[in-house]
Structure 1
Amino acid sequence: MTSEGWGTPPVEPISQHYIVCGGNALAHRLALELVELYDVPVVVLVPDRTRDHAPRIEQLEGVAAVVEYSSVTDEALRAVRVETARGIAFVDGDDQGNIHAALSAQGHNPGIRIVLRMFNQRLGSNIERLLRNGTALSGSATAAPAFADAALSRPNSVQVGDRFLHIAYDDDIHSDRLCIVADRIDPQDLGRIRLLPEQEGDSASYVRLAREFGDDGPIRSGAAARLAAGTVGPDPEPGGTAALQSLPSEPAVRIAWWRRLRWRLLDTLRFFTSARLRLVLITALVAVLLAFGLLWHLNGNFAWTFYTSLLDLAGAAQPDQPGGGDGSGTGGTWQRVAQVVITFCGITFAPVATAIMVEVLASGRRGQPRNPGVGTRDHVVVVGLGNVGTRVVSRLHGLGVPVVGLESDPQARGISAVRALGVPVVVDDGPLAEQLRRARLKHSRAVVAVSGDDATNLEAALEARAVRPDVRVVLRLFDDSFASHVYATLDNVASRSTSYLAAPAFAAALMGREVLGTLSVFRHVLLVAELTAELGSGLIGLNRHDLEDQGGLRVLAVRLARNPQLYHWRYADRTRALEPGDSVVVAATRSGLARLNTTLTADS
């Protein structure tokens, strides 16, 4: 690998190469993906070769050159030979900067393939119309579902048509699974996992399933379940099995409906009122309910009591007149007391309602981050409100799951996004243990640590475990070795890498492949992609055998050109050649999709 000086173009002229602009973790993973799996020449443009992941990028074998420029200018693009490149990816900087750089690259090379990272997906969709051969992806949007679903201990899913594909393990595997995606699974040794193992053919798995569903009853647990799931050989190696299955709807969140309703009501109340106003409202409401109960007890007529109480609240009830000589009146002393209490509470509600309106509309309460209240229960604590953290909070909130954000940097842009959702957030640069305490960790269901620093995320996990040994922990970790040690040491923990989840989608997009989503098998990634047989694509004339024989790939469904709305799942005809306009949905490993792309490129 050649390391170039500041602003200096590659020593040797280069063409038909791919350019990665950025020095972050995603740029690192993407460059590694391109040189190792796609075997293409790569030039990396970094803002500072001494910071972030730039030193690691320089150590990658196969990278043709690393060029340093503080920003992606026309001079920088000329330095990396953009005019002769096949593709360029912008994976660093903000949305505005990436848009400007993408349009500049298109001006230098109208036919270049452009992939740019965009946090604002709506803006990205609009920008795609300005690019002749480009696409906009969000790394955080690609990775966030895996973190959110791991926190909820539910399978991550990818939508294909009207189905949701997800990964099931061992005893959760059903007989109608689409395919086996992994075996030899050992959480203590993630290196043993084998993705998309060799398949014996469809008939072998059906024979085993017929044996298990015969007179002896349903599939048994343990080794028998793994055998029925389709692992190779009658005596599979120790370890679990994972399979790809489909559901008619997204996997449900396991939270009781009454808990969600309670959270929504409390959250709404906390949003519109301060602690003092809530105290006044709750006290008045309790007093009204007690007085109502007393009136009902004295009169024995619920309808009349309800009617009288409403008039008292409005200040329109007739006072109880004195009666006989004892002065007891028609209702007695206790009725008078109850009516007075209700009337005075009704008088209180009017100014309190006015105060709420003034506070919300005039004082800009929506602009102030809120701390979690004492009623916060069964929530998820998200540590770090960067791009990924903001996406995780948004997804959890959209699912109706109570969530609390935690951020040490008061200038983090994710705070405003969380604030707009009305989600409580703790903003403090003090000790992490104190921040977690304020986030009511003791009453939480999970902690998701997604800051940009592995050490900070591990510290959050250890601090959380010190307070709640049984709490579910999900970590964002870049280093695979580090993650393996975490798996081997901590129980009830999940680890994900944002760049590892997003890089395959960016690499495939550079090669012109559409990745519908990524599925996590522990730290490993399975890609779900849709390939269309177009003229010149190399897919025309291939059948299922041709696609799957290369390894690392399974055909899940076929869409025929004559009826593109219909997905033929587990398409039976393995010898039918693809015709122009046909599409196939595949599950593939990173290497499997890369091999297919190399083959199709060579054929075309």
Structure 2
Amino acid sequence: MVVCGDDGLARRLAAELRDVYQERVTLVVPAAREPQSVVGRQRVRSLGLFGRASGRPAGERLSARELRVLEATEPDEEVLAAAGVAGAAALALVYEDDDANVRGALVARRLNPRLRLVIRLYNRKLGQHLEELLDQAAIVAEPGIDLRELDSSTTVLSDSDTAAPALAASAVAGTSKVVQADGLLLRAVERTPPGRGEVADPGLCTLALLSATAGDPAGSEGAELSGERGPQLLPDDRAVAAAAGRGTVALEAVSHAGPARAASRLSAASLPVASLFSRRLRWSLAGVVAAVAALAVASWLTTGDHPLHAAYITLLDVFAINDPAVDASTQQQVLQILAGFMGLLLLPVLVAAALEALGAFRTATALRRPPRGLSGHVVLLGLGKIGTRVLARLRELEIPVVCVESDPEARGLASARRLRVPVVLGDVTEEGVLEAARVHRAHALLALTSSDTTNLEAALYARAVTPDLRVVLRLYEDDFATAVYRTLRAAHPAALTRSRSVTHLAAPAFAGAMMGRQILGAIPVERRVLLFAALEVAGHPQLEGRTIAESFRPGAWRVIAIDTASPEDRRPDLASALGEGPAGRPGLVWELHPGYVLKAEDRVVLAATRRGLAELLGRTSTLTPDL
């Protein structure tokens, strides 16, 4: 594997490929960047792989978990050739500059038509055209090449797109251990052992038995190994029943537990009356109407006129368009004076109502305001490229959101307007901005601005208002994130706190794409890892012609879903967001009958260990055991 980049994503991606997938990696970074964050300079030197001064004989193969680092400013033809692209299985181009990634991809495709390309681009439309162009170039370079069979296609990803599901899951479910399949978010949740007389909920399925149970399941990020027994991956029902006192890792779909009425309010197509008029103005209008009605009743009782005529005369007096009651009785004169006084009171109320309604309608054409009484929502800070993708993902899950953005020209405001999501324009560090977003009644706070200090300040202020609020922070520096996490957990032990780095969350998705489109993602279980893959049944005797129960091999692989879409309507990448493929709708069935016989034309989603997936793919000779 070859990784080229100039920021933290490249280094994290190289570490993911080496540590999780046990691949041999060549990392190309600019000379000004030091790659200590991947393995550390001391360890690189001990392996003799830093730069080109390793002294390794030409042609000698690198062993698993080794990393070779080259220094180069741009991925030109000479650099890619030196990195071994001609004989590599996959290349990731993850520079922050889209132009550099596109130029490197064009050169790499010419050097190796069979190379699996993973390119970092934010522009989705450009990415789609680039995928088609590079795949067509491979076919022209080698007529008869089957990109689908070799899994040598081009994949264009965005770090914001790939990090969005994990950020959304952190706000909703409190964990980043998620996998996206067919538009559905799945999470691996750690559960404590059931008490006496209780039955454990397996969710969609039980993924693993833990070696130790964390004291805080909702906040644990994976227990460390303790005791003599390590984690047992993909256990069968007999092993689960016999594992008394051990925690489990279950697979379940991510859902929102907040009030349903909040979502219905935010998705309403019409503008509610409550957004037009404030509560004080509504009470004022009600008081004036009640007073006018009382005057109409008094006029009817005093004069003996018809009720409608008495109401009509009263309204004329209120609006000062009736003749003075000079020759009328004393009672009528008093009522006329009171009606005129009510008219004077009604005038400023009507002016205030007109101004509020005008402002509300003007806001409705641009940005919505948070409805009064809203609760159970997610407050999203920042509508940059990361916040925009997270907002779209949260609305796909039908989770109510209120956004806060300081820049009136931010790119995400157009998406918020299209999705009819309430937005508060203002600096989150200013007093009253978070209150306007109803943070005191929110389910979670997602601080995703580009400033670490701004995110931290917003989180601290929100915690001061609501101590048990779930908080997810976007922090770039690992050391700073660790210090913030520990301090917030110590100060608010009952509240859930998460610190997330976009590069850290995006690296697994890029690594999965480099391994091939069949890899949907990976979830760590203590010091081991479970892979999720989409696989065609045809050509795999371990699956074809067997029932779901017979195809299950404990400790190796397990079928957890079947794609019901016809082969011509299937999306090539199940890990993509819902609606991006030709099918445009979910096609996976998760409730599987154990007696269903897998056919050659079926496509299944597997949970597998590295060793088990390697056996299915025929790559057992190149992988080390699952550590």
Give TM-score scaled by structure 2 length: 0.64
The alignment partner of 2:224 has SS state of helix
The 3 A distance-change label for structure 1 pair 67 and 406 is: farther
1:27 and 2:10 are equivalent in the alignment: yes
Contact 1:520/1:526 (<8 A) preserved: yes
The amino acid across from 2:296 in the alignment is N
The alignment partner of 1:28 has SS state of helix
The alignment partner of 2:471 has SS state of strand
Corresponding pairs, count: 531
Unaligned stretches of 5+ in structure 1?
1-17, 206-229
Shift of 1:252: 3.5
2:444 maps to: 446
Alignment match of 2:261 (pick from 257, 281, 292):
257
Shift of 1:374: 10
1:585 maps to: 605
1:144 and 2:164 are equivalent in the alignment: yes
The amino acid across from 2:507 in the alignment is A
The amino acid across from 2:224 in the alignment is G
Shift of 1:527: 4.8
The amino acid across from 2:133 in the alignment is L
Shift of 1:292: 1.4
Unaligned stretches of 5+ in structure 2?
48-64, 136-152, 301-306, 571-586
- Residue deviations 1:328-375 (CA, integer Å, cap 9, x gap): 3696333344445546655676677678888999xxx77xxx999998
The amino acid across from 1:583 in the alignment is R
The alignment partner of 2:330 has SS state of coil
2:402 maps to: 403
- Residue deviations 1:64-118 (CA, integer Å, cap 9, x gap): 4323333444454344343333211122315555344433432333221111233
Contact 2:172/2:256 (<8 A) preserved: no
The alignment partner of 1:332 has SS state of helix
Shift of 1:42: 1.7
The 3 A distance-change label for structure 1 pair 450 and 327 is: closer
Moved more, 583-592 or 435-444: 435-444
Structure 1 distance, partners of 2:461, 2:357, is 42
The amino acid across from 2:511 in the alignment is A
1:243 and 2:263 are equivalent in the alignment: no
Alignment match of 1:135 (pick from 135, 139, 155):
155
Alignment match of 1:46 (pick from 29, 48, 64):
29
The 3 A distance-change label for structure 1 pair 320 and 257 is: farther
Shift of 1:254: 0.9
The 3 A distance-change label for structure 1 pair 486 and 79 is: farther
Q: CA RMSD in A?
A: 5.5
1:289 and 2:298 are equivalent in the alignment: no
1:511 and 2:508 are equivalent in the alignment: no
Shift of 1:384: 5.6
Q: Percent identity?
A: 30
1:424 maps to: 424
2:577 maps to: none
Alignment of 1:365-514 (within 5 A): 380-382=378-380, 387-396=385-394, 399-405=398-404, 423-427=423-427, 444-450=442-448, 464-465=462-463, 468-476=466-474, 479=478, 482=482, 489=490, 491=493, 492-495=495-498, 496=500, 498-514=502-518
2:201 maps to: 174
Alignment match of 1:185 (pick from 213, 235, 246):
213
The 3 A distance-change label for structure 1 pair 466 and 283 is: closer
1:88 and 2:91 are equivalent in the alignment: yes
Moved more, 558-567 or 485-494: 558-567
Contact 2:560/2:592 (<8 A) preserved: yes
Contact 1:48/1:54 (<8 A) preserved: no
Shift of 1:43: 1.6
Contact 2:13/2:511 (<8 A) preserved: yes
The amino acid across from 2:285 in the alignment is V
1:222 maps to: none
1:70 and 2:69 are equivalent in the alignment: no
1:599 maps to: 619
Structure 1 distance, partners of 2:230, 2:451, is 29
Shift of 1:400: 4.9
2:581 maps to: none
The 3 A distance-change label for structure 1 pair 411 and 560 is: closer
The alignment partner of 2:15 has SS state of helix
The alignment partner of 2:516 has SS state of coil
Structure 2 distance, partners of 1:594, 1:458, is 43
Shift of 1:586: 1.3
Contact 1:142/1:518 (<8 A) preserved: no
Structure 2 distance, partners of 1:590, 1:19, is 20
The alignment partner of 1:392 has SS state of helix
Moved more, 42-51 or 147-156: 147-156
The alignment partner of 1:65 has SS state of strand
Structure 2 distance, partners of 1:567, 1:436, is 41
The alignment partner of 1:474 has SS state of strand
The alignment partner of 2:113 has SS state of coil
The 3 A distance-change label for structure 1 pair 195 and 260 is: farther
The 3 A distance-change label for structure 1 pair 473 and 568 is: closer
Structure 2 distance, partners of 1:162, 1:75, is 40
The amino acid across from 2:250 in the alignment is A
The alignment partner of 1:136 has SS state of strand
The 3 A distance-change label for structure 1 pair 148 and 82 is: same
Contact 2:206/2:251 (<8 A) preserved: yes
Structure 1 distance, partners of 2:412, 2:232, is 41
Shift of 1:244: 1.9
1:115 and 2:148 are equivalent in the alignment: no
Shift of 1:447: 3.1
Structure 2 distance, partners of 1:64, 1:403, is 44
Structure 2 distance, partners of 1:45, 1:67, is 5
The alignment partner of 1:185 has SS state of coil
Give TM-score scaled by structure 1 length: 0.66
Contact 1:494/1:522 (<8 A) preserved: no
The amino acid across from 1:179 in the alignment is T
Structure 2 distance, partners of 1:338, 1:501, is 63
Shift of 1:148: 2.7
Structure 1 distance, partners of 2:501, 2:602, is 34
2:150 maps to: none
Alignment match of 1:572 (pick from 566, 590, 594):
594
